[in-house]
Amino acid sequence: MSPDLLLRIGSATIDTIYMVAVAGLIGSLIGLPIGIFLATSGKGELFPAPTLNHIVGLIVNATRSTPFIILVVAIIPFTRLLTGTSIGTKAAIVPLTIATIPFVARLVEAAIREIDKGLIEAARAMGATPMQIVFKVLLAEARPALTLALTMTAVSLIGYSAMVGAVGGGGLGDLGIRYGYQRFMPDVMLVVVIVLIVLVQLVQSAGDGLARRFDKKNRKT
Amino acid sequence: MSVSAQSATPSADAAVVFDGVSKHFPASGNSGAFTALDNVSLTVDRGSITGIIGRSGAGKSTLIRLVNGLEKPTGGKVLVNGVDVGALDEAALRALRRSVGMIFQHFNLLSSRTVFGNVALPLEISGMDKRAIEQRVRPLLDLVGLADKHGRYPAELSGGQKQRIGIARALATEPKLLLSDEATSALDPETTQSILELLKRINAELGLTVLLITHEMEVVKAVTSDVAVIDHGRIVERGHTFDVFTHPKHATTRALLSGLAGSKLPDAVVRALKPQPAAGDRAVVRLTFFGAAAEKPLISQLIKSVGAEVNIIAGTIDEIGGAPYGSLVVAYGADAETSGRAERFFTENGLVTEVLGYVA
Ligand SMILES: Nc1ncnc2c1ncn2[C@@H]1O[C@H](COP(=O)(O)OP(=O)(O)OP(=O)(O)O)[C@@H](O)[C@H]1O
Ligand SMILES: [Mg+2]
């Protein structure tokens, strides 16, 4: 493989990491509060707002059930509005972020709903405000599960980021399509796939390790 | 607990007053409407350990949750230190909750926090600074005998140790009232006793009022000074623990009492019991004696007075609220003559009796 190609693979890897990191960060920052809201706004819960809960839930479901590739195309005007372009790494970040938000929201919701209701009851009995319960009880107790949720998000994002390559999104997927597929260079395709696998492995084991560190419940003594 | 709870002016030293309290759960989803509490009136004296006992679903948890406003009554009033809990807004309610400790059947400790962190939680919530928290938590861990575990996580503790942490946590804000919802139900008998001892000590040393709910008479017997029996959302009997144990009036109380160790009849006897005597049958009678009667050589006198064979089927000598108390189940001829002599003897000696049935 030529040094030029290797260089391209290197920069495509950096592009992928960049897209995943930025979309993951922004998507999680928005998705996390939405997830908390979904988990705590049902009837009789901390911030009861069943109607809004229902509406937000519907929007989240709608976004999640839209196939990613269709989402990418469908929001092109919005992407152009934000970034001034519809192709390349920067443009790809927009649909990736949009797809991340509901994904994170549902995972966060599930992680928080897992928490024993008795803990919320105990905190209420201590005179905690709903906000104190969110920060001191829910988020603290869900930390291992949230870590795993964010890990899963990052892994999915790596996959999605490769998909945006198909529509000129930049990064490893883009490289794989243009060289591996269109110019029929199977070795490039192979390297791209290997790099993706390694990325996923790294993210997964880092996340698993961190989650295990946070988990004080299932400790081996 | 005073029986005058119906009156409009509750006694001045009441820690908690339930005044005609009802709790009605409206129908929702596939479950119909349900009245969990029906016109409950009860006074919990300051400094007492008051027990509320009842079967599963009787409404115990609902009742205790009204005290710190986790649940609102649909009728009547709950007064804590004279304050109507139901009338408080959220902020005032939170302030009240900080002055009422609560412990739970499943401990409800945060798995993500150490022992220290768990006890510190209510103090963090109340906005206390780190140094003051440190100074408050250490003696509490000493009090419950777990100072050496302060850096451990709940997953590394036994059930009894977890409940001790639960108690330390409940005491952190220096409450004057402690609520206990089946705090020993998940523990073995020995651990239960040690937790109950701890509650007793706290009650005596800190002058803390304890309101505990349980379905176990053992618990009521071991620690409470007063007791109320709840059944289907109503208080069916209440009074000093000793009186309720020695003169149970309601069938539910009797049923709950019959589960006590020493009160339990052998299975073979229970199976053989008949409600009506036939000729030649023997009456099975429970004798309850206490105070002076516990000192007398009753058995030999009984045998002498009855002038017939008397079998002892079960018996126990125990203490309730610090007073000696005995319970004896005996069998003797059910014929009119023997029974008459036995009854005279019981009356003369001030024994409380209950005919449990007849055996062949
Ligand atoms: N939120 C609720 N909605 C509807 N019904 C309820 C609700 N909470 C409790 N109940 C009903 O009220 C009754 C009393 O419940 P409660 O939890 O007070 O019983 P308990 O005496 O504490 O029983 P246990 O010993 O099993 O804990 C039960 O029949 C229960 O089904
Ligand atoms: Mg209960």
Tens digit of each residue's pLDDT (9 = 90 or more) over B220-263:
999 999 999 999 999 999 999 988 987 888 999 988 887 776 66
Last residue of a domain, one of B202, B228, B257: B257
pLDDT at B6 over 50: no
Does residue B151 form part of some domain?
no
What's the pTM value of the predicted model, to 2 decimals? 0.86
pLDDT one-digit tens code per residue, A129-174: 999 999 999 999 999 999 999 999 999 999 999 888 777 788 898 8
> What are the chain B neighbours of A214 within 8 Å (beta carbons)?
112
Query: What's the number of domains chain B is made of?
Result: 2
Residues of A in contact with B161 (CB under 8 A): none
Indicate whether B332 belongs to any domain.
yes
Task: Please indicate, yes or no, whether residues B240 and B275 belong to a single structural domain of this protein.
Answer: no
With respect to residue A60, please indicate whether it lies within any of the assigned structural domains.
yes
Q: Are residues B236 and B287 in the same domain?
A: no
- Residue B119: which of B41, B160, B173, B65 has the closest Cα? B173
Domain-embedded: residue B336: yes
Considering only CA atoms, which residue is closest to atom 29 of ligand 1? Answer: B57
Q: What is the pLDDT of residue B263?
A: 67
- Domain with residue B305: its CATH number is 3.30.70.260
One domain, residues B251 and B298: no
Same domain, B187 and B330: no
Residue B337 placed within a domain: yes
Q: Which pLDDT value is given to residue B248? A: 86
A104 is a domain residue:
yes
| Alpha-carbon span B343 to B355, nearest angstrom | 11
Residue A221 lies inside a defined structural domain of this protein: no
Range of the domain at A95: 3-214
Which one of B205, B227, B257 terminates a domain?
B257
Among the atoms of ligand 1, which is closest to the Cα of residue B23?
A: 12
User: Does a structural domain hold residue B232?
Assistant: yes
Q: pLDDT (tens digit, 9 = 90+) per residue, A101-130? A: 999 999 999 999 999 999 999 999 999 999
Quick check: A127 and B126 CB within 8 A?
yes
Our CA dihedral for B43, B44, B48, B49, rounded to 10 degrees, sits at 120
Please give the Cα distance from B174 to B166 (Å, whole number).
14
pLDDT of residue B348: 84
Please give the distance, rounded to the nearest whole angstrom, from the Cα atom of residue B64 to the centre of ligand 1: 11
Q: Which CATH number belongs to the domain containing residue A128 in this structure?
A: 1.10.3720.10
CA distance B211 to B352: 29
Same domain, B274 and B354: yes
Q: Return the CATH number at B247.
A: 3.40.50.300
Question: What total of structural domains would you count in chain A?
Answer: 1
CB within 8 Å: A118 and B106 = yes
Give the pocket of ligand 1 (CB within 6 Å): B 25, 34, 36, 54, 56-62, 215
Of B106, B110, B154, which is closest to A137 when you measure between CB atoms?
A: B110
CB atoms within 10 A of CB A67: 10
Tokens of B351: 């024994």
For residues B207 and B271, state if they share a domain: no
Pairing of strands B177-181, B209-214: parallel
Last residue of a domain, one of B211, B229, B257: B257
Minimum-distance ligand 1 atom for the alpha carbon of B213: 22
pLDDT of B321 above 80 = no
Query: How far is the first Cα of chain B from the last one, in angstroms, to the nearest whole number?
Result: 43
For residue range A13-27, list pLDDT tens digits in order.
999 999 999 999 999
For residue B217, what are the domain limits? 14-99+175-257
| B11 pLDDT tier (thresholds 50, 70, 90) | low
